[in-house]
Amino acid sequence: MESHQVIRQAVESSNVKKVASQLGMSLSLVYKWMEKDARNQSGVLNPLDRIHQLYEITGHDHLIQWLCHKAGGYFVKNPPTGKRPGREVMPATQEIVQKFADVLSAISDAAADNSISDEEAKLIRHEWDELKRLTERFVKWCEEGDFEHLSEDLASKHLR
């Protein structure tokens, strides 16, 4: 889906006039954001294309992480693509299972005294985020059949 289509879907599910008013933008500008390649017509990128451009220029995932956090989510970056010969499925699945065990261990250790400190909560969050990251990468490698690359990635993160 292209950015203008995403904006159209979001804005049309609300009221276009209300969206424009609350953003302090003209109705015509909001409509331009919903058109394909609005930049050629008005010289202005839509907000999604502008964020993408900022990300491309800086290369900082923090921009996307912040946006996902504001939307109540979490950003998991997909791994680089490209198949390699050799497939090591079992070591990769074992790494995911081990990381899940690490999450459960962090939770049970923290909850042993019926309270969870800020530091314990941070550790649980860290382990959980790592599990989500590894699982997303695993699914991506499964889709591409690239298990050797997954094993290398896991080993490089010292997660064994």
For the segment 65-69, the average pLDDT, to the nearest whole number, is 90
The overall longest dimension of the chain from CA atoms, in Å, is 62
Give domain status of residue 121, yes or no. yes
Give domain status of residue 43, yes or no. yes
Give domain status of residue 77, yes or no. no
Give domain status of residue 79, yes or no. no
Closest CA to 159 of 91, 112, 57, 105: 91
Q: Are residues 66 and 117 in the same domain?
A: no
pLDDT in tens, 18-59: 999 999 999 999 999 998 875 556 667 899 999 999 999 999
Residue type, 117: S
Residue 97 lies in domain: 89-156
Q: Are residues 100 and 135 in the same domain?
A: yes
Closest CA to 151 of 85, 75, 61: 85
User: For the chain, what is the domain count?
Assistant: 2
Give domain status of residue 81, yes or no. no
pLDDT in tens, 88-136: 667 778 888 999 999 999 999 999 999 999 999 999 998 998 898 888 8
Domain end call among 70, 97, 125: 70
Give domain status of residue 14, yes or no. yes
Residues 6+ apart with CB under 8 A from 51: 63, 67
